[in-house]
Amino acid sequence: MTQTGTTAPTLIDLPRELEEALVEISATLPDWDMVAGFPTESTLAQCQEQMGAVPLLKETAESLRHALSGEGGGYAVLRLGNLAEALGTGDRFRRLAVALAAEVAVPFSPFPRWPLWKDIGVKVEKDPGKSSGVGYNAHHMDLVNATVPPDFTTLLCIRPDPLGSGPSILSDAHAAVGRLSEESRVLLAEPAYHYGTFFDLHGVGEEYKPFPILDDSAPDDGFVRFTAKMLVRSELSPAHADAARQLAEELVRGQVTFMLQRGDYLIVNQRRFLHGREALHSGQEAVPVADRRLLLQLLLRTPASLAS
């Protein structure tokens, strides 16, 4: 991984013994059979049984969970480059990545039209600000307008940009809120914000419109329902827009920036951090589609929010 920010990202390297064991069991891990967007109980049980016998997995999973949800945490990058080198980045590698994510929470897909993994490639004809566009993708949380957003969003790097651009950006949302004035926080807590559409989704509750950016959960635990795109794509009152703009500026001021490399697996706790991406270099149209940057997105739901 190449770091381009001033603060080091939270990296988790796998012990060699664990890597070797994961390569060995990768051929026998189950396909992820899904019902209504969630894995079947038999699939989860089979995966847990196989992964439970892997040496050093428990310790690595504990480190990962602490990095995501412990004090001061909120995101981590599992470095799976050696597994990608040994297995390629096809089905066996992807099943392993899902199995590792399942050590944190339950993998699911809210999109009936897409498989468990959602491709995020580079499409030069797309809106530049979209995840698959070539422009700056500002700080946001995924499914901001759902009453029950995913607890975690994850991005698996299959191919970095061959032109060397498009670093990931992350920012501690609660820390950014804490740097705002009381007046701005009051405005952000009002249900005055809206963004995006809500169509053909399951497992994420209902459409939340309008919504507050700050909810009434315990400090440092609730969602900061923010996407910087609402500043240019939603009609907001001047006062509410100004408060959101101040938050956007604080997110940029506190962001961590780093470049994902092949096999890096970024996992973000959406209750703590917001994510995005810097713009890609010009000239993407000259890069063959099969060589362009490719990430795979997977969403996770904690058992607690699944029950609720």
Q: What is the pLDDT of residues 73-121, one digit of tens each?
A: 999 999 999 999 999 999 999 999 999 999 999 999 999 878 899 999 9
Specify the pTM: 0.94
- Listed by start position, the domains of the chain span 7-302
42: which residues sit within 8 A by CB, 6+ positions away? 33
Q: Please report the pLDDT score of residue 113 as a whole number.
A: 78
Tens of pLDDT, residues 109-118: 999 878 899 9
Q: What pLDDT does residue 305 have?
A: 66
What CATH number has the domain spanning 7-302? 3.60.130.10
pLDDT at 204 over 90: yes
What per-residue confidence (pLDDT) applies to 3?
A: 47
pLDDT tens digits along 123-176: 999 989 889 999 999 999 999 999 999 999 999 999 999 999 999 999 999 999
